[in-house]
Structure 1
Amino acid sequence: MMVRTVSLAGCLFCLRPAVVQAGMPTVSLDLTQIAQLRLQSISFFLMVLLLSAFILKLCWNLLAKDFSKLPRISYKGALGVSVLWGLMFLFVLTMISGARELLTPGAWEKTGRTYQLVEDPSPDVAESAESGASVDERRRKLGELRSALFMHVATHQGKFPDKADETTFADEFWLQPGPLQVKYGYVSGAKKADPPVPLAFEQAIYGDDQQLILFTDGAIKVLPTPKAQDVLHGK
């Protein structure tokens, strides 16, 4: 009886369902995206190198059949020749790049992994760069003109000059900052009024789409060029 019980228990234990794990463990490398791209690039160029060596071996040995003095080449030799040619071309391209930089310094700029010619600025951009001045400097210079104009008002019965050439102060006050020696514009016949109206303004030569305008109340405003034109034309 005991033997039957033990045998039955053993059969039931062997027949019970169980989770079985099989297979070999795998090892995976958790690479970043940049590392994966680099690995793919290396694999691609390695495959191209091996394939080039194989094609070189076939072509070389094919020619060796027609030219008896030409020795046959093994795959290892073809692989060495391919690597040597690659290094030679890399050296030549490096020399060309260095000579190009020496002959035309500053003419190339790096864009990503390649180099491109630096585009010459257009005449308008070049002129704007030459006549460039900061907004603070332009405001300060227009402030000097404001002081001169209000000094004129104080000595001429509270009236602004009818024309720019009728002022009694030096002409240098009319020059905008920058090497172009451009004069400020002046609104002839301007009078103190409420609301204030434009009195003097700078010419749009700085290429930043901004103009400074001096008003009859002494305020200096920085306006976009289209809006400044509307203000100067009374719109």
Structure 2
Amino acid sequence: MMVRTVLLAGCVSFFWTGPVQAGMPSVSLDLTDIAQLRLQSISFFLMVLLLSALILKLCWNLLAKDFPKLPRISYKGALGVSVLWGLMFLFVLTMISGARELLTPGAWEKSGRTYRLVEDKQPDDASLAAETTLDERRRKLGELRSALFMHVATHQGKFPGKADETTFAKEFWLQPGPLQARYGYVAGDKQADPSEPLAFEQAIYGDDQQLILFTDGAIKVLPTTKAQDVLNGK
């Protein structure tokens, strides 16, 4: 019966004229890049787990030779102990992360699969200048007014022709804020009457407001466009 089957198969193969495909069969899976990375991560994790269990078994049984009361462990038992230790460490790390977030809320941000400290964003000079209040600006310009009128009292009732001709400290010319901008000064001989622009602040605060000091001692808050018109004599 076996001989007949082999002969029949040989005859069929001999008279078969259809095309025959040769080559070794192969099985391949078309995976995306993310899926390949995940598969590699899982395989690496399993390899480390199995290798750790093997090392644990060898170390345990080697130690059991010196301690007869210590039972020997199988590879299956070592694998279970490795998994149990891994879960315990994962639980401890999760508790530490939770306590860290409770003690310092908002101090950590996610970066990939880990967390990192949130970097303190230092505000730029423009934002710091915008935080300078209008009252502080008015007070600082008032100090310059006092210094200028002190100059008038000691110089025959005349304002200085230029800002460099003043005898008081240069700090009076500095505007409040981190930019350390200098007040502008309208040069020329001036009298208190009629009232004319005397000094003005640079428009660096971003609020569309500009303070101008007049020769009669008044400090006016004007929109930036109107302040430019006043300074230009319009």
Q: TM-score scaled by structure 2?
A: 0.51
SS at match of 2:105: coil
Superposed displacement of residue 114, structure 1: 1.6
Matches within 5 A, 1:1-235: 20-23=20-23, 25-122=25-122, 125=123, 129=127, 131-132=129-130, 185-189=183-187, 201-203=202-204, 218=229
What is the identity, as a one-letter code, of the residue corresponding to 1:34? Answer: I
Question: Measured at CA, do residues 129 and 68 of structure 1 come closer, stay the same or move farther in structure 2, by a change above 3 Å?
Answer: farther
Structure 1: runs of 5 or more not aligned? 1-13, 134-161, 164-175, 191-198, 207-211, 219-235
Going from structure 1 to structure 2, the CA distance change for 1:27 and 1:96 (only over 3 Å counts) comes to same
* Number of residue pairs the alignment of both structures matches: 148
Q: Residue 27 of structure 1: CA displacement? A: 2.7
1:87, 1:216 → 2: CA distance?
Answer: 71
The offset of 1:203, in angstroms, is 3.1
Flag structure 2 segments of 5+ consecutive residues without an equivalent.
1-13, 132-160, 163-174, 189-199, 208-222, 230-234
Deviation at 1:109, TM superposition (A): 1.6
C-alpha displacement of 1:131: 4.8
Judged with a 3 Å threshold, the aligned counterparts in structure 2 of structure 1 residues 128 and 73 are, in CA distance, closer, same or farther, namely farther
Deviation at 1:119, TM superposition (A): 2.3
Sequence identity, in percent? 67
The answer to whether the 8 A contact 1:53-1:79 is kept is yes
Instruction: Find the residue that maps to 2:27 and give its secondary structure.
Output: coil
Could you tell me which residue of structure 1 aligns to residue 219 of structure 2?
A: none
Distance in 1 (CA, whole Å) between partners of 2:39 and 2:62 is 35
The Cα shift of 1:132 comes to: 4.1
C-alpha distance in 2 between matches for 1:71 and 1:78: 12
1:201–1:214 Cα contact (<8 Å) kept: no
The CA deviation at 1:89 is 0.4
Deviation at 1:22, TM superposition (A): 2.8
Structure 2 residue identity aligned to 1:201: Q
Task: String of CA shifts for 1:33-81, please: whole Å, max 9, x gaps.
Answer: 0000010010001000000000000000001111011100000000000
Structure 1 residues 160-219: Cα deviation after superposition (integer angstroms, max 9, x where no partner): xx99xxxxxxxxxxxx9xx99x999444149xxxxxxxx86313689xxxxx9759874x
Report if aligned partners of 1:200, 1:215 keep a CA contact under 8 Å in 2.
no
Q: What residue number does 1:227 align with?
A: none
Distance 1:73 1:106 in 2: 46
- CA–CA distance in structure 1, aligned partners of residues 130 and 50 of structure 2: 58
Whole-angstrom distance in 1 between the partners of 2:95 and 2:66: 37
> What's the C-alpha RMSD, in Å, of the aligned pairs?
4.1
Task: Report SS of the residue matched to 1:201.
Answer: coil
